[in-house]
Chains A and B, each alone.
Chain A
Amino acid sequence: MKGTVSKDEISSEQLNELIDIVKKIHGFDFSDYTEASFKRRLARIMMLKKLEFYDLKHVLVNDAGFFQEFLEEITVNVTEMFRDPTFYKALKTQVVPYLSTYQQVKIWCAGCSSGEEVYSLAILLNEEKLGKKSFIYGTDINTEVLNEARKGIYSLRKIKSYTENYLFTGLPGSLTDHFTMMYDAAAIHSELKQNTLFSVHNLISDTGFNEFQMISCRNVFIYFETELQYKILDLFYKSLCPLGYLCLGNKETIRSDAFRKKFKVINQKENIYQKIGS
């Protein structure tokens, strides 16, 4: 697994030029993405597709089909089931008991990629006997990964590593109890899939679409500039019911006083918050 170095560095001017093209032609606004990782993704696409910067611009303008591929590569779709096992442990002890008091539990998993986190939450809620009254919406800007998510089929190699994660959560069951094993892959049980819905949603340009008891958006903010993070936090705030929970990635610290007034810290280390105020 070699590094992803492109020998030709992309300048900030080139970066802006490209962001402009994508915005004007394809309607996706990447201008508030964090520069360093965005450049790294671009360099990676150029290497994979064997394109110079000029050619990349050219295909983005002239080849309509290329954009979907570009979108898939530019967004980071690396995810795992039960990533950060201690997060799930915290959810179980600090959040689930409160969620269980609701008639219906609606959860929004924003930036869900290929669905691993949605199904991890579904498994957790199922094991905690909330499966029947909960519903999880998984959204992403990328249609291709959502198709993967809807299938809910993962390679055995991945399942093996997810099983390790699961063990660290301290949950009492077994991950494979929730899967049907096939020759070289495993499919999530259909009863878990029933209470999920995957759809396209762009955090940067789309509005809220429901009221939720919990929103999980983990390892998405790391790709956004601070101002954009605040804008999306506002969207999340409005989309949560009173005392609803917000979960961010465990390194996604929000350094804003305004945020502290709207959200109470439930777990500092795991970045779990609760909506306060109105």
Chain B
Amino acid sequence: MALDDKIRQQWANSRILLLGGSAGSFKLLFRLVKLLPQNLNKTVIIIIHRKKNFFSEIEKLFAENSRMLLREISDKEPIMDNTIYIAPANYHSLVENEGFFSLDVSDAVWYSKPSIDVTFESVAEVYKERVTAVLFSGANQDGAEGLLKLRRKGALTIAQHPEDAEMAEMPQAAIDIHAAEYILRTTEIFELLEDTN
């Protein structure tokens, strides 16, 4: 599928870029973080499944390689442009109407905390069509419902092509419930997100 004008336009109009993934998505997200330009004029929110108690070096590694400012979300943190936010382990990350994040320690969703569904749904309610969301490789169904809600709100929703995903289940679950408006090859996703006009 070639990238058409409609998808490029919708990406250009987005205020928020949501990236969700689990098993098999780390390297991709890392490459993407390296590639996103400093002046993207959007807010990037990344939700990757992670284990509690394993104090991961993800933030550090990402921050050292990112051209944008990169932060782990803390409670009531203002949502700023040109910043990449990473959801912390052992909390769900939500967004508030007034333009800040809030955190929640309630039960795991799909055995995951952070859950991609929870953040996607919350962003859908607040930012509606001003969102581009991509669901990458993963070994469970978290994110599919959230992507569907985003699609219903008019956001640009993309699933990584299951053939390109190390673990196909996550993008496939989204495709199965028609949550993804576009199913894109990894190279196409990168081509789109690199386009900053």
Chain A residues at the B interface, C-beta cutoff of 8 Å = 1-5, 9, 12, 34-37, 39-41, 76, 78-79, 83-86, 164-165, 168, 219, 221-223, 226, 229, 249, 251-253, 255
Contacts and interface: CB of A to CB of B under 8 A. Distances in A.
19 contacts: A3-B110, A3-B115, A4-B109, A12-B97, A34-B96, A34-B102, A36-B104, A36-B126, A37-B102, A40-B104, A40-B118, A76-B104, A78-B105, A78-B106, A86-B55, A222-B103, A223-B102, A226-B76, A253-B74
B76 A37 contact: no
Given A5-B117, A251-B88, A253-B77, A40 B103 contact: no
Contacts, number: 88
Given A34-B102, A37-B102, A251-B74, A1 B97 contact: no
B125 to A, nearest CB: 7
Contacts of B55: 86
Contact of B122 (A1, A12, A36, A164): A36
B108 interface: yes
A252 B111 contact: no
Given A3-B115, A253-B76, A36 B109 contact: no
Contacts of B106: 37, 40-41, 76, 78
Interface of B: 53, 55, 73-77, 88, 90-92, 94-97, 102-111, 115, 117-118, 121-122, 125-126, 142, 145-146, 149
B94 A252 contact: no
B96 A36 contact: yes
Contacts of B92: 37
A86 B121 CA distance: 31
Contact of A3 (B91, B96, B109): B109
A86 B54 CA distance: 11
B53 A164 contact: yes
Contacts of B77: 253
A1 B110 contact: yes
B57 to A, nearest CB: 14
Contact of A85 (B53, B95, B146, B149): B53
Given A3-B145, A5-B117, A36-B95, A252 B105 contact: no
A222 B121 contact: no
Contacts of A253: 74-77
Contacts of B91: 222, 251
Contacts of A5: 117, 121, 145, 149
Contacts of B76: 226, 229, 253, 255
Given A9-B125, A34-B96, A165-B53, A1 B109 contact: yes
B102 A36 contact: yes
Contact of A1 (B90, B108, B146): B108
Contacts of A168: 53
A84 B115 CA distance: 19
Contacts of A86: 55
Nearest to B78: A255
Contact of A35 (B74, B97, B108): B97
A61 B25 CA distance: 48
A265 to B, nearest CB: 15
Contacts of A165: 53
Contacts of A37: 92, 94, 102, 104, 106
Given A3-B110, A40-B122, 17 more contacts: A1-B107, A1-B108, A3-B115, A3-B121, A3-B142, A34-B94, A36-B125, A41-B106, A79-B105, A83-B90, A84-B90, A86-B55, A164-B53, A222-B91, A222-B105, A229-B76, A251-B74
